[in-house]
Amino acid sequence: RRRPERRVVHAVRTADGAWWANLHAQVHSEERALADARTAAEAVLGWSGGAPRVLLGGDTNLRKPVAPGFVHLGGNWVDHVLGQGWARVGAKRLDAGPLSDHAPVLVELAPG
């Protein structure tokens, strides 16, 4: 969407057929952030054409993100990883250092 802030979801398909998507949702509005997550989920699932594994992650600006067709695989504060066709093996928060005001999230996954 373009207003009130421009928001996009980026996605790539890897050689194994999995899809990986990144979103930065609306800040300071839970309603708009939820709408961004929902719209991104619908777009990525449409692009993936029924691929067996799809990930949607990023700065959701939500404490408890919800995206139709996806399960929560890990996260911290407003940064989360959601997936379809993946099982969480482990997750942890990393040190952001001077790079960001958000601590990076490392989620270890396995097909499933």
Tell whether the model's pLDDT for residue 2 goes beyond 90. Answer: no
Question: Which tokens is 52 given?
Answer: 């067996």
Q: Give the separation between CA 65 and CA 34, rounded to whole angstroms.
A: 7
Contact between 57 and 74 (Cβ < 8 Å): no
Question: Which tokens is 109 given?
Answer: 């996954």
pLDDT tens per residue, range 37-95: 999 999 999 999 999 999 999 999 999 999 999 999 999 999 999 999 999 999 999 99
pTM of the model: 0.92
Among all chains, which residue has been given the structure tokens 């996009």? 8
Q: Give the separation between CA 58 and CA 75, rounded to whole angstroms.
A: 9
The predicted structure's pLDDT at residue 5: 87
